[in-house]
Structure 1
Amino acid sequence: MKYRLLMIASVLALGACNNKADNGNPAVDNEATTAAAPDITLPHLTLQPSDARGYLDKAAAGDSFEIESSQALLKTSKNPAVRSFAKMMVSAHQESSRKLQAAADKLKIAAGSTTLSPDQQQKLDGIKAADAAHVDELYLASQRSIHTDALDLHKHYASDGDTAALKTVAAGIAPVVQKHLDELDKLGRQGDGA
């Protein structure tokens, strides 16, 4: 959280610097100065949805990515520890999908869309195209990124969501996602020879 706040402050400071007139000359067009600013993309600095529809869609897409990427990994990887983790991901994310679907059904709203974001699709395509020598590294990196975002999504919705029944589901899913991140840490230590 401190990292995110620091990054936000840095971006705001950069934006303020870009809005100053050139060499104190007020005649310089601030719009042109701002347009020339670099495009800065910050990891995991996305606003999470607080509405039921946004939450369900993002959670469903995340589960879909986890399942599809894990199934793709299982076709290529030879590493027993990574394969075991992938099998756990398929099972766990099928379960969270069932919980979200059940909550949506009770609320009489449509289930979340499983359409992947462009970033998720790019990561999935990379995993599918990777050879056995590189697939584990790509898969584990994508798992770290997607699970970090998912943890933020579920925690945010559990505290700030607009639908009580979904807040309860989100609060139940968040610790499971944290366990997945802990497992990724263990896999990383094993890969480092620890």
Structure 2
Amino acid sequence: MKRFLPVAALAIVLATPAVAQQMAPAAYVAAAGAGDLYEKTSSQLVLQSTKDPKVRSFAQGMIRDHNKSTAMVKSAAAQAGLKPKPPVMTPEQSGMVAQLRKESGTARDRTYLTQQQTAHQQALALHQGYAANGTAGSLKTAAGQIAPVVQHHIDMLAGM
């Protein structure tokens, strides 16, 4: 139960961008970590089966870029005096991964791309919100650097 409550709170925060803009540093770190974990996990899963070179290239880029953003947030959190716990996906993110596991072939690819659009919109709201209204300077800087990368991912998805 102790683990469920923070995850449930995180899911609510991610679902409401206005609230996400005013979150505490530790909550931002947890939300960013959960988002990156989902991105990497879902991308690794789709790489196991996709035959589409565009999907493969996109998924490889997601793993690379989200490893970088995870490292940036961890470093910024340390500078802010935080000791983040290992990331945990929200129930929504876990459900999306479970859905991908059930599908195969081009259906999995389509579901993956649809999920990526949703996940990246949430991530963009999170990072832009914290960059504008966060309270920890190092995390604000990291969020401001991550947001344009997330926007680039959204732009890439629009072309797929």
SS of the aligned residue for 2:105 comes to coil
Shift of 1:81: 0.3
Q: What is the alpha-carbon distance in structure 1 between the residues aligned to residue 72 and residue 106 of structure 2? A: 36
Shift of 1:59: 0.2
Question: Which residue is equivalent to 2:55?
Answer: 82
Superposition TM-score, scaled by structure 1 size: 0.71
Q: What is the alpha-carbon distance in structure 2 between the residues aligned to residue 112 and residue 163 of structure 1? A: 18
Q: What is the alpha-carbon distance in structure 2 between the residues aligned to residue 57 and residue 45 of structure 1? A: 15
Q: What is the alpha-carbon distance in structure 2 between the residues aligned to residue 176 and residue 135 of structure 1? A: 24
Larger Rg: 1
| Residue from 80, 85, 98 that aligns with 1:107 | 80
Matched, 1:133 2:103: no
Matched, 1:97 2:70: yes
What RMSD, in angstroms, separates the aligned Cα atoms of the two structures? 1.5
Unmatched 5+ stretches in structure 1: 1-42, 188-194
What code does the residue aligned with 1:116 have?
Answer: M
Q: 1:56 to 1:103 in 2, by over 3 A?
A: same
Matched, 1:72 2:45: yes
Matched, 1:161 2:134: yes
Question: Which residue is equivalent to 2:123?
Answer: 150
CA deviations on 1:11-36 (whole Å, 9 max, x unpaired) are: xxxxxxxxxxxxxxxxxxxxxxxxxx
Question: Which residue is equivalent to 1:185?
Answer: 158
Shift of 1:44: 4.7
Count of aligned positions: 145
Q: Which runs of 4+ in 1 moved over 3 A?
A: 43-46
Shift of 1:112: 5.2
Question: Which residue is equivalent to 2:30?
Answer: 57
Q: What is the alpha-carbon distance in structure 2 between the residues aligned to residue 60 and residue 103 of structure 1? A: 12
Tell me, yes or no, if the aligned pair for 1:56 and 1:113 is still in contact at 8 Å.
no
Between 1:88-97 and 1:47-56, the stretch displaced more is 47-56
Tell me, yes or no, if the aligned pair for 2:42 and 2:100 is still in contact at 8 Å.
yes
Q: What is the alpha-carbon distance in structure 1 between the residues aligned to residue 49 and residue 102 of structure 2? A: 10
Superposition TM-score, scaled by structure 2 size: 0.86
Shift of 1:121: 0.3
Shift of 1:76: 1.2
Tell me, yes or no, if the aligned pair for 2:121 and 2:154 is still in contact at 8 Å.
yes
Shift of 1:162: 1.1
Tell me, yes or no, if the aligned pair for 2:80 and 2:136 is still in contact at 8 Å.
no
Unmatched 5+ stretches in structure 2: 1-13
What code does the residue aligned with 2:143 have?
Answer: A
Q: What is the alpha-carbon distance in structure 1 between the residues aligned to residue 40 and residue 138 of structure 2? A: 24
